[in-house]
Structure 1
Amino acid sequence: MSLMLEIIKIVSEDARLHGFRKVNKIDVIVGDLSNVLPDALELAFFHFRKQGLGILDENTELEIICEAAKAKCQTCLFESIPDYRLALCPKCGLPNCLIISGETFRVESYEGCDEI
């Protein structure tokens, strides 16, 4: 709930600064390793949207873009899907993998308009 509340506050403030009176859509990227549950985020969004929080209305949409976790071994350069933030390379077995995607949690974009 608190993460979605902060997203709505940030987007609403920025939208007002740009002269928008309503937010039509919010796109959020959620990585597999970000510790954010997309379903919980969506549930919170629907709750706040129903309340008309910020400059949302009943037609405001939320798109959650899931970012897959990916790691790359710094020794043999093999790319794999890690189970955790610290991963052993499945090819060479060394604990030298660097997470290259899947940790993201951010607002990618939003759409708004100056009409109510």
Structure 2
Amino acid sequence: MHELSLAHSVMEIVGREMEKYPSRHLKSIELTIGTHAGVETEAFRTAIQAVMRSSLWPDAEAVIVTVAAEAQCIACGARFAPDGYIPQCPKCGSAMCGIVAGNEFRVSALTLHDA
């Protein structure tokens, strides 16, 4: 399950950021995960909660924001919701399309409070 290694990586990022604010406590971590990011959201949610429980911030909350996938046709410029990982334009039928949203995986925000 690569979601567990992703959760550990997220907590490493959080740890580096928290070093900048030694007198603050972590209240929540906001994560943005696209539907085409290759991450099973519920498995990741379980993994990040488990990793957070054994971290310096066991009471912090993980907030996951899901971004729907969106594709754009290179041939005609149409934007659409893809129905698979290899999108085909519903307007012109071209397979020359790219994912323009929904493939992100990032720590979007940390909410801190005073000690």
TM-score normalised per structure 1: 0.86
Question: Aligned equivalents of 1:20 and 1:106: distance in 2?
Answer: 25
Matches within 5 A, 1:66-77: 66-77=66-77
Map 1:4-23 onto structure 2 (within 5 A).
Answer: 4-23=7-26
Structure 1 residues 78 and 47: alpha-carbon distance in aligned structure 2, compared to 1, 3 A threshold: same
* SS in structure 2 at match of 1:26: strand
How far apart, CA to CA, are the structure 1 residues paired with 2:97 and 2:23?
A: 44
Percent same amino acid at aligned positions? 28
Matched, 1:94 2:94: yes
- Given the superposition, is the C-alpha separation of residues 83 and 20 from structure 1 closer, same or farther in structure 2, using an over 3 Å criterion? farther
Q: Partner residue of 1:42?
A: 45
1:6-45 per-position Cα deviation (integer Å, ceiling 9, x unaligned) = 1011112211123344211000000011011111111012
- Taking a change above 3 Å as real, the CA distance of residues 17 and 50 of structure 1, as seen in their structure-2 partners, is same
Q: Scaled by the length of structure 2, what TM-score is found?
A: 0.87
Q: What SS does structure 1 have at the residue aligned with 2:83? A: coil
The match for 1:108 is 108
Q: How many residues align?
A: 112
Whichever residue aligns with residue 27 of structure 1, its letter is E
Match of 1:32 among 23, 26, 35: 35
